[in-house]
A and B are shown apart, each in its own frame.
Chain A
Amino acid sequence: MKLVYYDVFLVLCMVACATTTINSKSVQFSDARRIIPGKTTGSELKTLFGSPDSVQSLEKGMSVWEYLRKDVPSTRRFYVFLRNDSKKVESVTWNVFEQDPESDLTNAKIALENPVLTGSRQEWTNGDAAPHETHYKNAEKNITIVLHEPSNRVTEIMWR
C-alpha cells in the first residue's frame, strides 16, 4: 500500500515539474513566432507555453493573456490578445529588452525574415510631450516594429 502512495506521489511530482518546466523555460522570440493570429487557439497556447501568468478581460470581446519574464519581477515577456468568441489569437506583442538580439533593428528584421518595412514617426497625441518612437510596418505580413528613438533600440514587435 505504501508503494502505491509512493507511486502516486512520484506521478504528482512529475506533473508538477513538467508544468513548471514549461512555465519557467526561457521563451525565445522564435518560439513566440509559432503563434499564428487567426489560427492559434487558447488551448494551443497552453500547450506551447503553459498557462498564462495573468488573464485580463478587455473591451470589445477580447482578453489578454500575459506571460511573464521569470528573471525580472513584474515584467512581461509577451502578451497575446484573444477573441472571447472564437478563442483564437487576434494579435501578439513581444517585448524586446536591452539584452535581446532583436533590440537591434537589423537583427529584428533578420528575425522576421527581412520583410520590407515602411517607417513612420509617431504622431503627437497631445501638446505636452513630443513622440519619441518610429513604427516600422509591413502591412502585408501585419508586422510592426517599435523603435525607441532616445535609445535607438527596438522595444516591441507586434504581429496579427
Chain B
Amino acid sequence: MTRYAGSCPIGLNILFFACCSIVFFSTINALADKCSQGSHFVRAHPRSAYERADGVFVSATHVTEHCRENPPGYSFWKKHVKNLFPSDWPRKDEKSRKWSTEEIERLLDALSSLPDELLRSKIRGIFRMKRSRDFPNPASTTPGTIVLYDDAFSDKRNLARVLAHELLHEYFRGMTKNDAESYRMTTNWYRFGDADGKVRWITRGRDSFVENDGMTSPDEDFANNVEYFLFERNKLKTTTPNAEGWISRRFGPGFRLRGAK
C-alpha cells in the first residue's frame, strides 16, 4: 500500500510547512541582519551573462547569498523599483512582470554608473513589463515613469545605456523653454504648421543623426545624442559635432560615466 504525503492529517502538514518557513526565513533574516550598514543582503540567484555599463561582459553564474556594498544612489533608487502596473500607463495591453533579485541588482548597478545630472530627475517609479508593443524596444517612458521590458535585460543590451536614454527623455521634459530652444536651434530643429493642419518638425539631413529615430523629434534626438556622448562619443563627434559641442558646454567637463576616464 502506498502512503501519500497528502494522506497525512491537514493540520500536521500545515504545522510542518509553518516550521520550515520559520526556519528558512529566520536564517535569511539572520544573514540579512549581519550585513553592515551601507550594504544590503542579496539572495542566492542564477545570473545570466550581461554587458556592464563600461562595456565589459560579465559571464553567467550562480550567485550565492551574500552581503553587498550599496552602490551609489542605492537608498534613493531602491524605493523607486515598483512591481505593479503603473496606473497612468497608456499602453493597457502591455503586461507587468515581477522584478527578480538578479534584475534589481543589475538595475541598481547600472544606475550607479550614470552621472549625477541624469539622476536628478522627477522619476516616481521604474516598472518592469514583459514585452513592448514595439518589440524589441527595451524601454519606454511617460513623465515620471520608466518601464523596462524583457529585452532591456538581454545580453545584447547595455542596461546602463538603456536607462540613460530613458532618463534623458525625462531630463529633456524638465528643461526650461530657453534651454530646450537653445538645443533645438543648435541642432537645426524647426516647428512647422503644415497645410493640412498638422504640426511637424523640419530638421537636418539624415546623415547627421546617430540613430534614425532621432529624426522623429528633438526629444528623441536629444536622448540619442547625450546617450552617445556618454557611451560612443567619437561617433557623436563625427556625426553631429554641433550637438556634441552643445552637450559639452551644458554639462561641463566632468560629465561622464562614473569611473570612466
Contact = CB atoms under 8 A, between A and B. Distances in A.
Interface of A: 56, 58-59, 64, 66, 72-76, 79, 81, 91, 93, 95-98, 103, 122, 125-130, 132, 135, 137, 139, 142, 144, 146, 148-150, 153, 155-156, 158-160
Q: Is the interface of B mostly helix, strand, loop or mixed?
A: mixed
A158 B185 CA distance: 17
B143 A130 contact: yes
Given A91-B192, A128-B213, A132-B173, A75 B178 contact: yes
B94 to A, nearest CB: 10
A98 B160 CA distance: 33
A128 B178 contact: no
Contact of B220 (A91, A97, A125, A144): A125
B216 A95 contact: no
Interface in B135-173: 137, 139-143, 165-166, 169, 173
A127 B132 contact: yes
A125 B223 CA distance: 14
B134 interface: yes
Contacts of A153: 177
Given A91-B193, A130-B90, A130-B143, A75 B182 contact: yes
Interface of B: 90, 132-134, 137, 139-143, 165-166, 169, 173-174, 176-178, 181-182, 185-186, 188, 190-193, 195, 197, 199, 202, 213, 216-217, 219-220, 223
A103 B193 CA distance: 19
A153 B190 CA distance: 19
B185 A127 contact: no
Q: Which 10 pairs of residues, A with B, have the shortest CB-CB distance?
A: A127-B134, A158-B193, A130-B142, A125-B216, A129-B169, A127-B137, A74-B182, A160-B193, A93-B191, A75-B181
Contact of B181 (A64, A76, A128): A76
Contact of B178 (A72, A122, A132, A156): A72
Nearest to B88: A130
Contact of B139 (A76, A95, A128, A158): A128
A160 B195 contact: yes
A93 B188 CA distance: 14
B142 A64 contact: no
Contact of A96 (B132, B165, B169, B177): B177
A158 B193 CA distance: 6
Contacts of A139: 197
Nearest to A94: B191
Given A75-B178, A75-B185, A129 B223 contact: yes
B143 A150 contact: yes
Given A128-B139, A146-B191, A76 B169 contact: no
Contacts of A75: 178, 181-182, 185
Given A64-B202, A75-B181, A156-B191, 13 more contacts: A91-B192, A93-B190, A98-B178, A126-B134, A127-B133, A127-B140, A128-B169, A128-B220, A130-B141, A130-B142, A132-B143, A150-B143, A160-B193
A104 to B, nearest CB: 13
Nearest to B137: A127
Nearest to B204: A56
A73 B217 CA distance: 22
B220 A129 contact: yes
Contacts of B195: 160
Contacts of A149: 143
Contacts of A74: 182, 185-186
